[in-house]
Amino acid sequence: MRQIVLDTETTGLDPAQGHRIIEIGAVEIVDRRCTGNNFHVYLNPERPCDPEAVRVHGLTDDFLADKPLFAEQVEAFLAYLGDAELIIHNAPFDLGFLKAELQRLGRPALQNPVFDSLTEARRRFPGQKNDLNTLCRRFFVDNSQRSLHGALLDCELLAEVYLAMTGGQVDIGLQENSPTSVAEQRSAPRPTLRPQGKLRVITASAEEEAAHAAYLAEMGNALWPQ
């Protein structure tokens, strides 16, 4: 089964107001393992970023000025997605921006099946915070490098969160001997320790039993002799 964890960064909050996508990140999962076949691109939005958005993702107009247009990357992006299921945190936001970008090019909206991890988190943890940082802490995913939002980094974190939330398998290594994550280590069954050989039984000597009886007598109100 092929799945794609998808995230975007944008110039603002509303595509209806002309805001555009400036970064796309995607992480491929096949049979519940991240393959390393990722997709990542920065885009020139042909408009300024809102200051509030820059404070979130740190992508300035100067940085984006020489980046390709969405129209120049759309074929590679759609070919990468194929018909895979999309895993998105707060899917209506990203899908709304992608729909607007595709409409500008006269293309239909994406038809891929979608798993919204925010909807699933709210179902599992009603009344609690379910943003990505909170889910990382809840599932023991290391997000210490996430000082700003970034599409590819957020996809990598969400991939671990998704695998932990839906089944406990969070090994994102590309080799069989890759290290497991903290979450997998916590969920792994503990080995049963069995004694080797015969157990040595140590009993109290007569002198020790007598000393113990004398001690209880001195206490006066001990319940053990009863």
Contact 8, 94 (CB under 8 A): yes
Residue 59 neighbours by CB under 8 Å, 6+ apart: 9, 22, 23, 42, 49
Cα gap 95→85, rounded to integer Å: 13
19 is catalytic: no
Q: Which of 19, 40, 149, 212 is catalytic?
A: 149
Contacts 24+ apart (CB under 8 A), 188-192: none
**CA atoms in the 13 A half-sphere facing the CB of 187:** 15
Cα gap 58→48, rounded to integer Å: 13
Residue 73 neighbours by CB under 8 Å, 6+ apart: 24, 41, 43
1 by Cβ neighbours in 10 Å (0-12 / 13-18 / 19+) ranks as exposed
Cα gap 94→101, rounded to integer Å: 11
Q: Which residues are catalytic?
A: 149
